[in-house]
Structure 1
Amino acid sequence: MVVLHVARRTKYCPYKRSEDDSVDNDWLDICSLLWDIYFYQGAAPPSDEEILNAFADCLGSAVQEFAENDSIAGADSKSGRPHLILVLDKHAQQIPWECMPCIRDYPVSRVPSISFLQERILAMKTAPMRDTSGSSSNDNVPGVHVSGKQAFFVLNPEGDLHRTQANFEAYLRSAATWNGVVGRRPMNNECEHGLASSDIFLYFGHGGAESYISRSQIRALDRCAVALLLGCSSGQLKLAGEYDALGTATDYLVGGCPALVGNLWDVGDKDIDRFAASMLHAWGLNRYSTESIALKLDCERNPSAPEQPVSLAEAVCLARKACRMSYLTGAAPVVYGIPAYLT
């Protein structure tokens, strides 16, 4: 896997600019937005345009070097595309870097710091997730390997997402080994037990299930499932002054979650349902259910299932194309953690 560290300290270096001025202008707009974020948090503004251009050159060179480096292609991905991990500081994490054209087709995940990444990798090596499929998960692809047979779901807990419930209820209930709740609020410790005893946690509701399991409960878990949190702003980290940004995603990472899908901002139920259906299909969870998802997807937008198993991050990458607003709803979901594969 490849790690790209985006933080305050940057060494400037030139890179070859595109012949298309519009591409350069878009990139400068992104870098200007990032610098504005730092400025509003108390950082000194650039003294002249040359400093901003140098900053754009340096950041662009790092991304372009990754995109053009053929030697790393297929090094750790079953699909032949390397996995990119972004280490973003509390300001840079507000931008959906995953949707930049140069890396939009790559599986990308993010972590808040190098120490989080180290801890996840060590936990992966010392305490792998349970595998009940009968097949060995000790292959050459680095990442966590989880069983698709062990899943817990929470669907429409507040009872107001009728369309989402109609789309996914039959699909979720038909999996013989899956457990969960539909159309009601989870009882005490149901979510906690689902996270601790299952390999996959599916949440279709508002937010990131904060109303049903407290931050302290999540952080105190000895073991945590891969979490797919499809509610509004479930992956958003909020600034806390001089301290690191905090949010539901960091709580899950502290609790031992190896990989998490969350949304950076609020999303509409129709488009995020399309994304969720496509992601579950691409990741391979469909084979554990006897019923199909009721939602009909646009064949042109919905990618076909890959021939080889792919990581959760790559499934998210493929599913962005299913959204009709691919740069609004499609840009909201991000992956935290390390690559996660189904066994």
Structure 2
Amino acid sequence: MEDFDVFTNEINFTKPLFKNILNKYVNDVPSTPNGPNYQSGRKLMAEECLASNDDVGCAFHLSEAASASLRTMAVYRDEQLKAAGNKLHKITSYIKPVQQVIDDNPIPKKEKKLLDLLSEGTDDITNILQTLSIDKEAPFHKRYLHFSKENNVDNFQKILKELPKEWTIIQLTVPYNPNENLKPLLEYRTEVDSLYLSMFTNDYLEDARLGPMTVHVPANVTKEGEKPLFTELFSILDENYKTIDNAQFLNNKRLVQNYWSRREDIDLRMKSVINVMDKEWLGGWGCLLTGKLIDKSWKEKIVKLVDNAILDWGFIRLTQKQKILLYNLIECSPVLQSQQIKSCIRRILTEHGNTEDVRQVLNSECGSCTKEFRFLNELCLKCLSRSFEKLHHFSLVDGIKAFSQTASTVKDGDEWTGLKKAKRHPVILIVDERLDTFPWETIPILNQHPVSRMENIHFLYYLYKVHENNIVDGYYAAKCDVGRYVINPEKNLDRMENRMTSFVEYWCPNWKGHVGEAPSPADFISHISEADVFLYCGHGDGCQLAAGAGGAGGVEVRLAAAAPRAPPAAAHHHLHIAGCPMVIGMLWEVTDLEVDKVISTLVSLYVPSDAPVPWQHVGKAKWSNRVLDTSVENAGQVPSERDLLRAVCRARGSSSYVMIACSVVARGLPLRLSD
């Protein structure tokens, strides 16, 4: 059949009903792309947006490039649960779209006869189908996990506005590398020379009513003779694993001394990694990682100070992005070195202005820079400086001097002394899978902040909506009435078993669990499901105890990818898919005594107890023999910590080993004990 439209002079063909139904499934089948390939494509699109000054589009595509395979896993699990709970789910899920096609497309007489011919008793079947319930459309927070048309810039911005205003959400992303599609992970994992730092939400962004913005930060750039930082980190982790693994064979004093010497060497090397991350990678850009100030008066003073400097010096051509970057930098100047501040000011003034303004005034005399550049950082410093001078009518040196003086006012002024220790709201770090092994939480500018990691914006929004009714002032309002534990299930860590069992019996006597034995899969899942706080102490992450029942423990939360190119996976992925709001664990292999100190301190800070002596004051000389000394005189009070992320910060200090302290990370929603 065909209809002639006299107004458009076009012929519209009406497809047969069966073709319409078939096309419905061919065109609308859920997309489950290959995760790594999808991420590569999105990174390329983000770069194109950044080149055209589309910061919002850039941030959206980078958000899509984070942990894509995990979204497929979540969608698959949801479908499996529906099918397990309702055996007719598959049938009923197809009724609705077919009915829509039939309703939208009148059936020609010939096709209606064909339907009657193909199936006797069609009316009876139709009546039966009508009695079946058709699932309602999934809520938006679940649909956004899919790869569909709903994953777009508008919905991305809608999500960011809906999330708690207290959160600062930052994503760190490695740029596209074509070798990701050609080589195994081990061959290209160190090929990183920069990273994208995207502010999805930020105090100053909201005031300016701007969307997310991204800066391109040089990283892993080394001087001649230096080892690239990625290479050094993986070397440290390999050495750490071998040292710990060989500890069981120490059978004389010389070997024991050598063991401790190697541990100290590994510790020093990790300190150096953190120092390079802070000083040479991030530098002044570390200011963009900090949380929103709880006391808003500080922010108001910063804005006034910077705006006055802009007016006094006549920076009439500064973009809104440059101003926001300056606000953040000046705010953090008390904890930054002067050289970090000056270097960052130079980059803000020259590399983050309006590219078209620079293109118009650029008159390159260096012989290599042209007006065909895509990014301002492609131009040499000489050309950037001359372009700045033509735009602002004074030298770049004077521009740097202007804001350096402003930073010095905040850094050294008496009225600003409280800013350095001012409390902040939580930071959510979305970390690229390639960057996840680095201990971001322990760089100096963040080490006292409440910081949590999330896989991507999709899962952050998903967990938020699942627990929305329990979110108060940006925190999941938690309880700790029910505690469960599994300690040394493989029966091969006897001293750890003694230490952690004696701790739990002393501090949390009402908790229940398994010690020195593996719980059944049903018991393990029950523990995780019913507990407000679940403690797993043993090798690995506890996945083996679930025996495929759909749960996992929470001790090891590092990402591990199967060769050659499978997407990384970890226990916390399964727990977040199941709705667990928070998982705390380790980024790499650790030794039991030092971890026992950190974890017991963490639990004692966070979980209230009727124990007579604060855990930090309990004598532990014979702790490994399950003996605690509570005969402590004049033991002072140790303030508890209801904010779990702040408790993690304090607990890190209970180990003298950097490798232990910086391995501890929290993944999930900021969590605080309710009153």
Whether TM exceeds 0.5 here: the answer is yes
Do the aligned partners of residues 304 and 254 (structure 1) sit closer, same or farther apart at CA in structure 2, a change above 3 Å counting? farther
Do the aligned partners of residues 115 and 155 (structure 1) sit closer, same or farther apart at CA in structure 2, a change above 3 Å counting? same
1:218 pairs, out of 509, 526, 551, with 551
2:597 pairs, out of 271, 274, 278, with 274
Would the aligned equivalents of 1:286 and 1:292 in 2 still touch at CA under 8 Å? no
Q: Percent identity?
A: 21
2-side partners of 1:72 and 1:254: how far apart?
31
- 1:34-183 equivalences under 5 Å are 59-67=282-290, 72-73=293-294, 80-126=423-469, 128=470, 140-173=472-505, 175=508, 177-183=510-516
Match of 2:664 in 1: 333
2:560 pairs, out of 238, 250, 253, with 238
Do the aligned partners of residues 36 and 205 (structure 1) sit closer, same or farther apart at CA in structure 2, a change above 3 Å counting? closer
TM-score (norm. length: structure 1): 0.70
2:525 paired with 1:192: yes
Return the offset for 1:182: 1.2
TM-score (norm. length: structure 2): 0.38
Do the aligned partners of residues 324 and 197 (structure 1) sit closer, same or farther apart at CA in structure 2, a change above 3 Å counting? same
Q: Aligned AA for 1:315?
A: A
2-side partners of 1:215 and 1:250: how far apart?
14
Q: Aligned AA for 2:446?
A: I
Q: Aligned AA for 1:239?
A: A
Q: Aligned AA for 1:150?
A: V
2-side partners of 1:306 and 1:278: how far apart?
12
SS at match of 1:180: strand
Q: Aligned AA for 2:659?
A: L
2:609 paired with 1:287: yes
The runs of 5 or more residues in structure 2 that have no matched partner are 1-166, 176-195, 197-213, 234-278, 297-421, 622-635
Return the offset for 1:179: 1.6
Return the offset for 1:167: 1.9
Q: Aligned AA for 2:170?
A: L
- 1:246-325 equivalences under 5 Å are 246-283=569-606, 285-287=607-609, 296=620, 305-306=638-639, 309-325=641-657
Do the aligned partners of residues 183 and 72 (structure 1) sit closer, same or farther apart at CA in structure 2, a change above 3 Å counting? same
Would the aligned equivalents of 2:561 and 2:569 in 1 still touch at CA under 8 Å? yes
Return the offset for 1:155: 1.2
2-side partners of 1:34 and 1:296: how far apart?
38
2:342 paired with 1:342: no
Match of 2:229 in 1: 33
Return the offset for 1:324: 1.7
Which deviates more, 241-250 or 268-277?
Answer: 241-250
Q: Aligned AA for 1:272?
A: V
Would the aligned equivalents of 1:172 and 1:289 in 2 still touch at CA under 8 Å? no
Do the aligned partners of residues 146 and 13 (structure 1) sit closer, same or farther apart at CA in structure 2, a change above 3 Å counting? closer
Q: Aligned AA for 1:144?
A: Y
Return the offset for 1:105: 1.2
SS at match of 2:535: strand
2-side partners of 1:180 and 1:291: how far apart?
24
Return the offset for 1:329: 0.7
1-side partners of 2:295 and 2:497: how far apart?
38
Which deviates more, 267-276 or 58-67?
Answer: 58-67
2:8 paired with 1:8: no
When you count helix as a share of all residues, which structure comes out higher? Answer: 2
Do the aligned partners of residues 202 and 292 (structure 1) sit closer, same or farther apart at CA in structure 2, a change above 3 Å counting? farther
Do the aligned partners of residues 263 and 288 (structure 1) sit closer, same or farther apart at CA in structure 2, a change above 3 Å counting? farther
2-side partners of 1:105 and 1:166: how far apart?
31
- Bigger relative contact order, structure 1 or 2 (CA pairs below 8 A, ≥6 apart): 1
2-side partners of 1:14 and 1:252: how far apart?
33
Return the offset for 1:288: 5.9
Return the offset for 1:160: 2.3
Do the aligned partners of residues 187 and 291 (structure 1) sit closer, same or farther apart at CA in structure 2, a change above 3 Å counting? farther
Q: Aligned AA for 1:204?
A: C
1-side partners of 2:589 and 2:217: how far apart?
37
Return the offset for 1:66: 3.9
Which deviates more, 159-168 or 247-256?
Answer: 159-168
Return the offset for 1:305: 3.9
Return the offset for 1:242: 5.3
Which string of whole-angstrom CA distances, capped at 9 and with x for unpartnered residues, describes residues 89-137 of structure 1? 11011211111111111121101111111111111214x4xxxxxxxxx
Do the aligned partners of residues 73 and 62 (structure 1) sit closer, same or farther apart at CA in structure 2, a change above 3 Å counting? farther
Return the offset for 1:35: 9.4
The runs of 5 or more residues in structure 1 that have no matched partner are 16-23, 38-55, 129-137, 220-226, 298-302
Root-mean-square deviation (Å): 3.6
Return the offset for 1:25: 8.6
SS at match of 1:159: coil
Which ranges of 4 or more aligned residues in structure 1 deviate by more than 6 Å? none
Q: Aligned AA for 1:334?
A: V
Match of 2:38 in 1: none
SS at match of 1:87: strand
Return the offset for 1:184: 1.1
